[in-house]
Chain A
C-alpha cells in the first residue's frame, strides 16, 4: 500500500510536473542571486559554497513541501487520502518518500548549474555527495512533512512552514554544511562521519516521531 501512495504522488507529478519544475527554477534563481551577490569576492565562494548549497536546498524544500500537501487540500481529497486502508503513519511515510524523491530530483537538476555559475571545482567523490544529499534532504523532509501536515488547515500556511521548519532543521543545516564543506576540501570520510551520524539520527528520530503522531494530526 505504501508503494501505491507514493506512486499516486509520482503519477500526479508526472502529469502536471509542477512541483519539480517550480523547485528547479526557484533553486536556479537563488543560485543566480548568490552568484551575483558574491561577484565582488570570488575567492570567498569556495569557503561559502557548502553553506550556500544547503540554503538553496532548504528554500526549495519549503516550496516543495508547501505544494505537496496542497494537492490534497485544494481538491478536497484529504479524506480519501487519509482513508487509505493503512494506518496513517504509513500515509506520512509515503509523503516523506514522495517529498524526498521530488526534492532529490530538483537537486539533481540545479546542482550542475550551481557548480558552473559559482565556478566550483567538482573534483570530489560523487557517491559521497549523493549520500550527503540523500541523508540531508531526508532529514529536512522528515520534519518538513510533519510541519506541512500540522499547518494543512492554517490560514497562514505559507508563512508558518518556514517559521517552524528553519529553527527545527537547524541541526541539519549545521551537519549538512559541515559534511559538504569537508567533502569539498577533500577530507577523508573518517574526519566527518560524525556529521553523517547526526543527519542519520535526525532522519530516523523525526521519521519515527512523524509515524507515531501523524494519526493524531489528521484525525477529524
Chain B
C-alpha cells in the first residue's frame, strides 16, 4: 500500500501544504521591516527557519546514528539517511537564500559569518557522507560508517562555530537579525516561529515519506 493511502499521512500532507501556502503568502505580501533592503528583507522569514530546521535535521542524523550503533536496528539507519537527505536539501536552501539576503544587507554575496560558514562546512561534510554511502563498500558496513560520519559532523559544529566566530572578529555582529527580534514589535518573531513550525511539519513529512521508501526498498 502506498504511503499516501494511509489517512494519517494524508492529513499530515494536507496540513503541511496548507501551512506552506500561508507561509509563502505572508512572506511575499508583508512589508519588510527595513525598507532599505527592499523586498529582500523578507527572505529572513525563510532563511532563518530553514537554517534552524536544517540544523535540527542534522542533529537528528546524529541521534539516529547513536541509536543505530547501540541498538543495531536497520530502522534507525533508514531514519538517519532520510534526515541526512532532507537536511542537506534544507542546507542547500540556506546556502542559496543566505547570499541573496547578504547582498542587500552587507553589500556582498558571501559574508564569512559564523552561522553561514558552519552551514557550508556541514553541507560539505554531508556531501562526503553521501559519497561514502554510495562508494563505501558493502551496505551493512556502510550503514555503520555513515552513522559515525553523522555523529562526527555534529561533534564538529561547536568547534567550527567558535573558530569562525573568533577568526574574523569584525564579522561576529549580525545586526540584521536584531532588527527583526524587537520587543516593541513582536510580529516578526511570531512570523518566524510560524514559518519554523510550517517547515517542521513539511520536513517531518519528507523524512517519514523517505524512511518509508527506504524500508520498502530494503524489504524487497
Contacts and interface: CB of A to CB of B under 8 A. Distances in A.
Tell me if chain B binds chain A.
yes
A155 B152 CA distance: 21
B220 to A, nearest CB: 25
B215 interface: no
A197 to B, nearest CB: 10
Contact of A205 (B125, B131, B145, B155): B155
Contacts of B167: 174, 178
Interface residues of A, number: 31
**Considering residues A153, A170, A209, which has the most beta carbons from chain B within 10 angstroms of its beta carbon?**
A170
Query: Chain B contact residues: over half helix, strand or loop, or mixed?
Result: helix
Contacts of A159: 131
A209 B150 CA distance: 12
Nearest to B161: A171
Interface in A199-213: 201-202, 205-206, 209, 213
Contacts of B31: none
A167 B137 CA distance: 22
B131 A213 contact: no
A48 to B, nearest CB: 16
Interface size of B as a range: 20 to 34
Contacts of B127: 163
A163 B128 contact: yes
A36 interface: no
**Considering residues B138, B151, B167, which has the most beta carbons from chain A within 10 angstroms of its beta carbon?**
B167
Contacts of B152: 143, 146, 168, 206, 209
Given A150-B132, A151-B132, A198-B159, A168 B125 contact: yes
A213 B148 contact: yes
Contacts of B156: 168, 170-171
A168 B148 contact: no
Interface string A36-75: 0000000000000000000000000000000000000000
B125 A167 contact: yes
Given A143-B152, A205-B155, A155 B141 contact: no
A156 interface: yes
B132 A206 contact: no
B151 A153 contact: no
Contacts of B148: 146, 150, 213, 216-217
Contacts, number: 85
Contacts of B151: 209, 213
Interface in B136-158: 136-138, 141, 144-145, 147-149, 151-153, 155-156
A154 B162 CA distance: 33
A164 interface: yes
A159 to B, nearest CB: 8
B6 interface: no
A171 B147 CA distance: 21
Contacts of A170: 121, 156, 160, 163
A143 B144 CA distance: 17
Given A171-B160, A216-B69, 5 more contacts: A143-B152, A153-B141, A154-B137, A213-B69, A216-B148
A103 interface: no
A168 B163 CA distance: 13
B110 to A, nearest CB: 15
Contacts of B136: 150-151, 153-154, 160
Contacts of A154: 132, 135-137
B163 A160 contact: no
Contacts of A194: 166
A80 B128 CA distance: 30
The 9 closest A-B pairs by CB, nearest first: A153-B137, A167-B124, A171-B159, A164-B128, A174-B163, A156-B135, A171-B163, A163-B128, A150-B145
